[in-house]
Amino acid sequence: MNQLIKTSIDNAISYQEYSNLITKIVSEKNTTGNEQTQEHIEFTKLNSSRMRRINKAIALTDEAINIFNNVRKQTWVVLCESWCGDSAHTLPVLNKIAENSNNIDLKIVLKDDNLDLMNAFLTNGSQAIPKLIIVDESYCLINVWGPRSKAATQLALDYKREFGSIDDVFKKNLQIWYNRDRGISIVSDLVKLIKRSSIHINKLN
């Protein structure tokens, strides 16, 4: 597993490189991934605008910055694709966290180019993205998160319970929810994740 993660990190790109890639493929009317559909091309274009908007809207609290800046050295590897709406709303938040921490290095890999890694971190048997994999300097797994915050996941569960399945109405409502949440739920999840990991490490020591 460590070698698989290391290989993926060696071939990963930074958030800025990912942003540049999105700009390029949008100009070419293209998308990432194996499914080169018109729908995915349109979603990629939409997600490019979403990411720019979210980048401006995110604000971390001093408490959150302190927590993220005091973790042990680690790499955050994110599996994603340009057409994925959840990825578009999540990546800018993760980047903001990494920018405010001297100990977090954010790396991005495309799901369809890294299927071995993706299949090692399925969500309920599904290749759900984005998927965040957190490892230490020796590429040992610390924790995983994704594809959505607990709050967004609960919204999906409640909707499926009431209407039977996720449809376009839910997807539209979820995007509205993301815009209002402004990454707060994602940050909250990750703060709790770090706190639990720290408690676990202290117990081992």
Q: pLDDT grade, residue 204 (50/70/90)? A: very low
DSSP 129-144: S-EEEEE-TT--EEEE
- Whether the CB-CB separation of 15 and 91 falls below 8 Å is answered with yes
pLDDT above 90 for 203: no
Delimit the domains of the chain by residue range.
Answer: 2-204
The pTM (predicted TM-score) of the whole model is 0.94
The C-alpha angle with vertex 11 and arms to 196 and 98, in degrees rounded to 5, equals 40
Q: What is the pLDDT of residues 137-161, one digit of tens each?
A: 999 999 999 999 999 999 999 999 9
Mention the CATH class of domain 2-204. alpha beta
Q: pLDDT grade, residue 205 (50/70/90)? A: very low
Q: Count Cβ atoms below 10 Å from residue 56 Cβ, excluding itself.
A: 8
